[in-house]
Chain A
Amino acid sequence: MALLRKKVRIAEIPSGSLADIAFLLLIFFMVATTIDMDKGIGIVLPSAQDSEIEMSKKNITNILIDPRGTVLMDEKEIAIQDIRTKVEALQFQNPKMVFSVKAHPLTKYRTYIEVLDQLKQAKTRVISIAE
């Protein structure tokens, strides 16, 4: 009688692709997490100890904002979306130009940000915030 040979069964879960699965998970989480980036308009305030700097008037452009949202630039009314081109032209004429933004206390913050945005778009070097 022939002895039955015991079969050795090798049962193994294939683990070669486990790394791929883990990578997929990693990539999924990396893509799915929304990192809410803080974005905004950056400015640097003058320090409180700074004494007022004397500047010649021809180097300053005053931008006034009234409560209704009307913008005056050098005593002339200007539409907010036109500020950029005007500022770019002024900067081209006089690279030392400083833009001073002055808002009425009842002006809405939105208008102020719109004006600052225009100045930033025109790559203004110095923005002064008058109070």
Chain B
Amino acid sequence: MELKKKSKLNVAIPTASLPDIVFMLIFFFMVSSVLRSHEGLQVLMPKAKQIEKLESKVHVTYIWISKEGLISIDGRLYQPQSVRSVIYEKRTVDPQLIVSIRADELVNMDLISTIHKELRLADALAVNYSTRAI
């Protein structure tokens, strides 16, 4: 009886293109990660323990308040009473808007209260006070 010759199968997953795949991954992450450069004022934010993360970065607008009382949104200075119209416009475009207040720890509360009032009138009610971790 003739013995059947065992066929030797050369089984190998082609790995030649694996580097290409990984490089594509690198490029994808490099392109899709948003490096947000903070355009704002020089502030030293207050410290807090019980802090929560902002869920999305896409829906966040920052209001910078320096200890001199300057207010900056998107790199431009505004008067307290014009915050309303700026935020209202943003709020119309993006109803899920979260306003992050990045205020210096030495700012007086009257300015913060004014901003609160403006935000309420602009119907932007979700607010986050930016803090540093202890």
Residue ranges of A at the interface with B (Cβ–Cβ < 8 Å)? 15-16, 18-19, 21-23, 25-26, 29-30, 33, 35, 37-48, 65, 103-110, 112-114, 116-117, 120-121, 129, 131
Task: Given A18-B18, A33-B33, A39-B130, output 4 extra A-B contacts at Cβ < 8 Å.
Answer: A21-B19, A44-B127, A104-B109, A113-B131
Name the segment of B2-10, B49-57, B70-78, B89-97 touching the other chain.
Answer: B49-57
Chain B residues in 8 Å Cβ range of A108: 105-109
Q: In the bound complex, how far is the Cα of B98 from the Cα of A15, in angstroms?
A: 49
Residue ranges of B at the interface with A (Cβ–Cβ < 8 Å)? 15-16, 18-19, 22-23, 25-26, 29-30, 33, 46-54, 57, 60, 98, 100, 103-110, 112-113, 116-117, 119-121, 123, 125-131, 133
Picked from A18, A40, A107, A110, the residue with its CB within 8 Å of the CB of B100 is: A40
Q: In the bound complex, how far is the Cα of B31 from the Cα of A112, in angstroms?
A: 40
Chain B residues in 8 Å Cβ range of A38: 53-54, 57, 60, 100, 128, 130
Q: In the bound complex, how far is the Cα of B107 from the Cα of A35, in angstroms?
A: 27
Cβ-closest 8 pairs across A and B: A105-B110, A110-B105, A22-B22, A19-B18, A120-B50, A117-B48, A113-B46, A18-B19
Chain A residues in 8 Å Cβ range of B121: 48
With both beta carbons as reference points, the residue of chain B lying nearest to A104 in the complex is identified as B109
Picked from A25, A37, A105, A129, the residue with its CB within 8 Å of the CB of B116 is: A129
Do A46 and B125 have beta carbons less than 8 Å apart?
yes
Chain B residues in 8 Å Cβ range of A15: 16, 19
Do A39 and B126 have beta carbons less than 8 Å apart?
no
Do B127 and A43 have beta carbons less than 8 Å apart?
yes
Which of B98, B109, B110 is packed against the most chain A CB atoms within 10 Å? Answer: B109
Q: In the bound complex, how far is the Cα of B128 from the Cα of A120, in angstroms?
A: 13
**Can you offer 16 A-B residue contacts whose CB atoms are under 8 A?**
A22-B22, A23-B22, A29-B30, A39-B51, A39-B52, A39-B131, A40-B100, A41-B51, A41-B52, A103-B109, A105-B108, A105-B110, A106-B108, A109-B105, A110-B106, A116-B48
Q: In the bound complex, how far is the Cα of B51 from the Cα of A23, in angstroms?
A: 34
Do B53 and A41 have beta carbons less than 8 Å apart?
no
Q: In the bound complex, how far is the Cα of B23 from the Cα of A19, in angstroms?
A: 9
Picked from B26, B106, B110, the residue with its CB within 8 Å of the CB of A29 is: B26
